[in-house]
Chain A
């Protein structure tokens, strides 16, 4: 049996509003294994924030069970729930630090709540300031810190209670790209070195790619797809997932260029093929032009993954030679049917080993 630390079973959440009932989460089943860095991605309004908040019962599910480390959290008395909550830390988009306490005071806060003796808490807080690289800002107040520094204090605070899990609710969405990278690096380090399970809520694919090994895609309150990040990323099965992985493609192309072109292929490059000049060699070898419609290259937990949409020659025989070349080079590809958006078609036959 797998070592499951968080398990949501049939979780449904409804909100009563003036306009009637709104279903924010619908029958969510989710198992997160110990040590995972589990990403939950979705567009705003998909329900991802509600989902993460049901894990520590900040949001009470209308139906279903939440298990943490084998214990059922739903239905517990608040005193017992609070004991479990100390093992599930949380960091937030808006940091949520106490404005009237300095950095070290903020880090001591969860230990105060848990009744850790003052001197011991202080020593541990100083230790944690080093972990997040802020030893010189121990007595700065949040108003004197930058966004990135505030999130570092929040991360140190999250570590203070020696948690099993850290829930990250859009933890980098208020930060600039450079600071985002450094915070993601810190979180990854915490996940890898301390074995702390991360649950990462985000609307940005980049965050998932840099931080997570598992991902679930949520849309309209339902999990539509989940699995290993490289699986889901290279072989997305649902439209929701593909839309997240082809960001802005709708803005960059007109409906005509998306659908009118024939003979389109979607190529996926892995770490073996990403560095080779496949396309230029294909042109040289076959003597046939290729039209490039979309391309990007990404680091997936430091592995290069690329995808490309190209348009082959109109000449049927030439197109066959081009495909043969790709097979020879070991590049995964699928044909995109005419009249469909390239991010909006089922990936038939995808994932079979291509023999050389």
Chain B
């Protein structure tokens, strides 16, 4: 394979991976963040305990999280095909990513919000703040650095999932590595994709840590 083809293959794979990771992460947060908040709010020490909701939602989150991503994706394929018309490629993979990652995001958010000092929440209640004001102005803002750190972890995890999806024709760098590296015996391509993935993870982690530190007013 000549260098030009290789570069365009890698470029396309990289773009697809970024597309799946970014869109998948965003949509996972759209679903996972409210679920995470609701788990904290309705928890036994939350600002509005609802034991039944908390137990049921916690159970659903655990069930989805206990299925390995590849198996979940294969199991979901027929349903994804029904909804978006195709079972392979970047869109199908993104849909599966969101189903798998949203519960993970919910737990990350829950962990971050648990770190918020209960005394501060109590102070807000004493001021006459309503539950939505407490969520918006106390929980989410006080936990912001931790939430950003969690977002970096979530993004990297979703990047990893998206690469895994290559085994069932999911598109992106993982797909490239499997098709060329494994099926066509070109280990060099596999190694190149691995290096690109490593660099991506490094950039994401570093960016997450720096952003979280910059957004944290407790240190400076």
Contact = CB atoms under 8 A, between A and B. Distances in A.
Nearest to A167: B126
Interface in B187-220: 216-220
A99 B146 CA distance: 13
A100 B123 contact: no
B126 A89 contact: yes
A109 interface: yes
Interface of A: 56, 58, 78-79, 81-86, 88-90, 92, 94, 96-102, 109-110, 112-114, 141-144, 161, 167
B125 interface: yes
B217 A100 contact: yes
Given A92-B123, A98-B120, A98-B141, A86 B219 contact: no
Nearest to B134: A113
Contact of A58 (B117, B126, B217): B126
Contacts of A92: 119, 122-123
B50 to A, nearest CB: 14
Given A92-B119, A99-B142, A100-B142, A113 B127 contact: yes
B27 interface: no
21 contacts: A58-B122, A58-B126, A82-B130, A84-B128, A85-B125, A85-B126, A92-B119, A96-B117, A97-B123, A98-B138, A98-B141, A100-B216, A100-B217, A101-B141, A110-B127, A113-B124, A113-B128, A113-B133, A141-B217, A141-B218, A141-B220
Interface in B141-174: 141-142, 144
A102 B126 contact: no
Contacts of B220: 141, 144
List 4 A-B pairs, minimum CB-CB distance, nearest first: A85-B128, A82-B128, A96-B123, A96-B119
A73 to B, nearest CB: 12
Q: How large is the interface on B (under 10, 10 to 19, 20 to 34, 35 or more residues)?
A: 20 to 34
B82 to A, nearest CB: 44
Interface in B93-144: 117, 119-120, 122-130, 133, 137-138, 141-142, 144
A92 B117 CA distance: 13
A86 B128 contact: yes
Given A99-B117, A167-B126, 5 more contacts: A79-B130, A98-B142, A100-B216, A110-B127, A144-B220
A94 B127 contact: no
A83 B130 CA distance: 10
A58 B125 CA distance: 8
Nearest to A102: B217
B129 A113 contact: yes
A100 B218 contact: yes
Contacts of B216: 100
Contact of A99 (B125, B126, B127, B218): B218
A156 B146 CA distance: 28
Contacts of B142: 98-100
B170 to A, nearest CB: 39
Contacts of B219: 143
B128 A114 contact: yes
A161 B126 CA distance: 12
B218 A161 contact: no
Contacts of B127: 85-86, 89-90, 109-110, 113, 161
Nearest to B133: A113
A141 B117 CA distance: 16
A104 to B, nearest CB: 13
Contacts of A81: 128
A113 B134 CA distance: 9
Nearest to B145: A100
Contacts of A83: 128
A114 B130 CA distance: 10
